[in-house]
Amino acid sequence: MKGMLFPLDIIWVRGNTVVDITPDVPLPSSGTSLGDLPLYFPAEPIDTVVEVPAEWCQQHGISVGAKLEYKQLKP
């Protein structure tokens, strides 16, 4: 991902269920052109993508099938 500053876990979500996880997405190599960046896709259709620091899913026990709870943040 262009401009990414740290490795990521990508959590692919449909409804409130994790349908796929792409763990440990690395930083792009310096000088990589936009056209040469890898593309990442979920294994199933999704409606939400959550990006978190790499290894976050493992540290927090998030796996495929997990149910996510959304909370509205107060302004």
* pLDDT over 80 at 60, yes or no: yes
The pLDDT value given to residue 30: 79
* pLDDT over 80 at 11, yes or no: yes
Q: What percent of the chain has pLDDT over 70?
A: 97
The pLDDT value given to residue 2: 66
Q: Using CA of residue 31, residue 11, residue 14, residue 49, what is the dihedral sign?
A: negative
Q: pTM of the entire structure?
A: 0.86
C-alpha 28/C-alpha 56 separation (Å) is: 19
